[in-house]
Structure 1
């Protein structure tokens, strides 16, 4: 299996993991996971919001040979929190999150290897400031896998403590 396919398959595992959250008590679903932190529902909406951004903005830009653009994180993340508070049910949010990730994975699998690995910019920056690695769509997907895992760990720790 190619490295690219392996990374995309790893990225797709989030969809399956979401099923483990079905049927969580509504109070736990909406309770902040720690003081000053989001609830499980807000975390799921946050990840879905970024998946939507990858689908609607990042992939089309990379396909057209343009750099990747990401909005101000705090503002964009607040939108996800507000979205959940607008009345989305647990089942609706989980279904939307799965559907969005699955669509994103299909789009990524459809891209040629050259497109996935092509050097590009992220908000006009050519290399990751932490690793010095040149940005590419595949590099960003690896960062999003780390991001998913960070939030999954938070959720699992919270559930372990309260259940």
Structure 2
């Protein structure tokens, strides 16, 4: 297996284990904002769910085709809707949805060939490799996970 692919898959598997561990936090901790005026832990985790779904359904299938990639959804709107859903859902439901979506993302990445990990593609004006694209997404995850760790200490 391509080393870049292996590294991204390992990070995503680690993210699943990390989010799964949040099942042990109290309801009060789960609903605590990561900073004053910011989202709660629940909302932070919840906002990752639709982005995984978008990547799996609208990005990966088209990355190496002649079809142009669809424009990303409105970030503010998608994040606000996801945060709202997370406020209404139980901790178990949000964690379960995250784990299910992340599992689908990992499965989709497993189906990408080593050759595809070597080629570049375009999103808008940006030329990217799979490693660069997914490294950015992994960094985004861990940025939020560190915020959550900080508030839970």
Say whether the fold is shared (TM-score over 0.5). Answer: yes
- Deviation (angstroms), 1:119: 1.8
Q: CA deviation at 1:10?
A: 1.8
Q: Which residue in the other structure is 1:81 paired with?
A: 83
Name the SS of the counterpart of 1:135 in structure 2: strand
Aligned residue in 1 for 2:93: 92
Residue 47 of structure 2 corresponds to 46
Q: Which has the higher contact order (CA 8 A, sep 6+)?
A: 2
Match of 2:106 in 1: 105
In 2: Cα distance, 1:94 partner to 1:23 partner = 11
Deviations 1:53-109 (A, max 9, x none): 111111112143445432222122112112113x21101111111111011101101
Q: How many residues align?
A: 151
Q: Which residue of 2 aligns with 1:130?
A: none
CA contact (8 A) 1:62 1:137 kept: no
Alignment of 1:2-151 (within 5 A): 2-3=2-3, 4-68=5-69, 69-85=71-87, 87-122=88-123, 124-126=124-126, 134-151=127-144
Unaligned runs of 5+ in 1: 127-133
The alignment yields a C-alpha RMSD, in angstroms, of: 1.7
Greater Cα offset, 71-80 or 32-41: 71-80
TM-score by length of 2: 0.89
Return the TM-score normalized by structure 1: 0.84
